[in-house]
A and B are shown apart, each in its own frame.
Chain A
Amino acid sequence: MIAAWIVVERNLLSYRRTPAVLLSAMFEPFIFLFGLGIGLGKLIDTVEWHGEPIEYAAFVAPGLIAVSAMNGALFEMSFNFYFKLRESRTYDAMLVTPLGLRSVLDGELSWAMIRGGLYSVVFLAALAAFGYLESWWALLIPLAALLIGLSFASIASWATTFVRGWQDFDLFFLATQPLFVLSTTFFAIDVYPDWAHPIVYATPLYHGVDLVRDLARGTVAWSSFGNIAYLLVMAGVGRALATRRSAELLTT
């Protein structure tokens, strides 16, 4: 635990001089919210959510929290993880200290998770100010964002261990695009044709978006526990696979 935290400290230290990198991603959900949510909202008027009509921007905003938690974690565990793994050999340097591989990886996952969670808190505060939050359940959204960050960070770190050069990241991010489309961030699930519903349920971002939206609207249901279970399993499996693959790469 403590050992993993020191790895988080290392990341805090490294971002101290370049806070712009962290901050710029923080604005991304605002751009989507104003551009799409409010722009499209003029055309779309209201969306039905659990039988109630809600303003389009209030529908989109919680989804954007999930998306930014995902993006923060993905960025950290793709480019940054790859760089430290293969190019700068930062992990080789860490592994000859008492830190073990598990602490190093857990530290990196924690940091990616915190980064995703951090974005959510900022955005959440803005949403509260705009009056887009309907429920006290919304106070739990940062926890949901941490979980989303952790599950995507875990899977992404595993995927990144297979990356052999920077150009492979095109493929990596190509794979995340369908997640975005299928996530119900911009449209409720009944907009998708029936045959596509199982595919939507199978994708991870959907579970993040659905969970955060239920918390924001106070429509928490059994399905929310399903969302949580899905994300927890994804985090656990991803972490186990990433630990094994990193050991193969770093301790041969």
Chain B
Amino acid sequence: MERAVHAAGLTKRFGDFTAVDGIDLAVESGESFAMLGPNGAGKSSTMRMISTVSPATSGELRVLGKVPDTDGPAIRSRMGVVAQEDNLDDALTVRENIMIYGRYFGLSWSDARRKALELLDFAQLTDRADAQVNSLSGGMKRRLSIARALVNDPDLVLLDEPTTGLDPQARHLLWERLYQLKERGVTLLLTTHYMDEAEQLSDRLVVMDNARIVAEGSPSTLIAEHVSKEVLEVRYPADATVDLESLGHRIEPLADRTLVYTDSGEATLAELVNSGRTPSSSLVRRAGLEDVFLALTGRRLVE
């Protein structure tokens, strides 16, 4: 089977401004792939090029084995797209949103109706089927956007920040639905600001920053490559001057606390206490992708 997305040197410029700067991507069929990065990194610009609505300035791009410039409709007929901003049709009901979308994909009205029932159930919106879209909560709108994008049984689904702005419960419900899609063999390409989301949902990911890809791999290999196993977070009173330099593999001073990257958080904390540098508070945790991002860019992902 062909690769779901293949990009080489993919670039997008708006005037003089470079939003995507020569990135390479390889999303294999059936995998779940995340693009992680802060605001303005170029995630949506990349997604829009892949969804065939935004022409690349330069570089090579193939989606589902085809070239967006010449095969846009053929690519789109096998793809589902959930944009960053909800763009549901608010003149229509929940059910009609899915049905008319089915029509756009060439389904007959009766097939569209059948498909809508199935997807309403999938999105747990059956009881809201005849509600106006405006009356839905943010989480419900997001679920409807995803349901609508599945009306053509796509092989590839693009999700631009599927859970931004949702409460934890709504996020978990969405994650669970995305797992189900993945189990069915659908290729998922998603962007996110959230490390836990990338860790939960993706087999592989790229970290984007300033229009470029700064790291690539599975969540666990990225953590193994760029940071230690554990992190010790320590806080001291504002006026204290404590020397932490030689501790662990690396230290990362933040505004309100210091992160110490180490193989054993407990051992490092004991070392501090034994040498009379007991912090006013401390926390030992496993290192995550947030730490990878910090290590790579010197900045935190979500400010």
Where the two chains meet, the residues of A that have a C-beta atom closer than 8 Å to any C-beta of B are 6, 9-10, 13-14, 88-90, 92-100, 250-252
User: Which chain B residue lies CB-closest to A93?
Assistant: B87
Mark contacts of B67-109 with chain A using CB atoms, 8 A cut-off: 1 yes-contact digit, 0 otherwise.
0000011101101010101011111100010001101111000
Q: Is the CB of A97 within 8 A of B101?
A: yes
Cβ of B14 under 8 Å from chain A: yes
Point out the residues of chain A lying under 8 angstroms from B96, CB to CB. 13
**Residue of A13, A98, A252 touching B100 (CB-CB under 8 A):** A13
CB of B19, distance to nearest CB on chain A (Å): 11
A94 to B52, CA, bound (A): 12
**Residue of A6, A10, A89, A96 touching B85 (CB-CB under 8 A):** A89
User: Which chain A residue lies CB-closest to B106?
Assistant: A98
A95 to B73, CA, bound (A): 9
Q: Sample 14 A-B pairs with CB under 8 A, ordered by A number.
A: A10-B92, A10-B103, A88-B89, A89-B85, A92-B87, A93-B83, A93-B87, A93-B88, A96-B79, A96-B81, A97-B152, A99-B104, A251-B53, A252-B14
CB of A29, distance to nearest CB on chain B (Å): 26
Point out the residues of chain B lying under 8 angstroms from A89, CB to CB. 83, 85, 87
- Known A-B contacts A14-B92, A92-B53, A252-B14; A98 and B104 likewise in contact (beta carbons under 8 Å): yes
A13 to B96, CA, bound (A): 8
CB of B131, distance to nearest CB on chain A (Å): 12
Q: Is the CB of B104 within 8 A of A97?
A: yes
CB of A95, distance to nearest CB on chain B (Å): 5
Where the two chains meet, the residues of B that have a C-beta atom closer than 8 Å to any C-beta of A are 14, 51-55, 72-74, 76-77, 79, 81, 83, 85, 87-92, 96, 100-101, 103-106, 152
A10 to B101, CA, bound (A): 9
A133 to B54, CA, bound (A): 53
Q: Is the CB of A9 within 8 A of B89?
A: no
CB of A89, distance to nearest CB on chain B (Å): 4
- New A-B pairs, 15, CB < 8 Å, besides A10-B103, A88-B89, A98-B76: A6-B103, A6-B104, A9-B100, A10-B100, A13-B96, A13-B100, A14-B92, A93-B83, A94-B104, A96-B81, A97-B76, A97-B152, A250-B53, A251-B54, A252-B14
Q: Is the CB of B89 within 8 A of A95?
A: no
User: Which chain A residue lies CB-closest to B52?
Assistant: A96
A9 to B102, CA, bound (A): 12
Point out the residues of chain B lying under 8 angstroms from A95, CB to CB. 53
Q: Is the CB of A14 within 8 A of B87?
A: no
CB of A94, distance to nearest CB on chain B (Å): 6
A98 to B92, CA, bound (A): 20
Point out the residues of chain A lying under 8 angstroms from B104, CB to CB. 6, 94, 97-99
User: Which chain A residue lies CB-closest to B105?
Assistant: A97
A75 to B239, CA, bound (A): 67
A94 to B105, CA, bound (A): 10
Q: Is the CB of A88 within 8 A of B90?
A: yes
Kindly list the 5 A-B residue pairs having the minimum CB-CB distance in the complex, ordered from nearest: A89-B87, A14-B91, A97-B104, A96-B81, A93-B87
CB of A207, distance to nearest CB on chain B (Å): 33
User: Which chain B residue lies CB-closest to A100?
Assistant: B73
Q: Is the CB of B55 within 8 A of A251?
A: yes
CB of A106, distance to nearest CB on chain B (Å): 14
Q: Is the CB of A90 within 8 A of B87?
A: yes
A79 to B96, CA, bound (A): 22
